[in-house]
């Protein structure tokens, strides 16, 4: 079956919150995360506030009617909410936390979450 990619912004993404929580629960139950109901509940509770952030964008991947992957993030002004700016790109391991703009732009991604299920 073909994969379908879609982009949603802000509160328009709310229609995906239920399937997104289910996907999160499936993905992060596995090692090394081994997250349980408390973490899933925290993820669910934070979604509306994250979707309200300026620049919030959600990209979903569906196969038929099933959500099989997603990534989302938002933008913030450079120099806010993260460590001091550096001239080098952050390591791949930093992709789930905030970091300053590494390319000198006036905005930066504050958070990027990637979820996928095989």
- Using the predicted structure, report yes or no on whether residue 111 has a pLDDT greater than 60: no
Contact 103, 63 (CB under 8 A): no
Distance, in Å, from the CA atom of 81 to the CA atom of 98, rounded to the nearest integer, reads 7
Task: Give Cβ neighbours of residue 49 (< 8 Å, ≥ 6 apart).
Answer: none
Please write the tens of the pLDDT for every residue from 38-57.
Answer: 999 999 999 999 999 988 99
- Using the predicted structure, report yes or no on whether residue 37 has a pLDDT greater than 90: yes
Which pTM does this prediction carry? Answer: 0.70
Distance, in Å, from the CA atom of 13 to the CA atom of 44, rounded to the nearest integer, reads 13
Q: What pLDDT was estimated at residue 77? A: 74
Per-residue three-class SS string for 49-116:
HHHCCCCCEEEEEEECCEEEEEEEEEEEECCCCCCCCCCCCCCHHHCCCCCCCCCCCCEEEEEEEEEE
User: The domain 3-116 is classified under which CATH number: 3.40.630, 3.60.21, 1.20.120, 3.40.50?
Assistant: 3.40.630
- Between residues 98 and 40, the one the model is more confident about: 40
């Amino acid at each position: 079956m073909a994969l379908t990619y879609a982009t949603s912004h802000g509160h328009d993404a709310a229609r995906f919150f239920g399937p997104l929580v289910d996907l999160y629960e499936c993905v992060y139950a596995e090692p090394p995360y081994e997250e349980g109901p408390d973490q899933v509940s925290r993820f669910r509770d934070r979604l509306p506030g994250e979707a309200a952030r300026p620049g919030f964008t959600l990209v979903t991947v569906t196969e038929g009617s099933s959500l099989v992957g997603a990534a989302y993030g938002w933008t913030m002004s450079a120099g806010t909410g993260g460590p001091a700016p550096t001239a080098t790109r952050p390591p791949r391991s930093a992709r789930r936390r905030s970091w300053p703009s590494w390319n000198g732009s006036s905005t930066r991604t504050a958070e990027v979450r990637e979820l996928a299920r095989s």
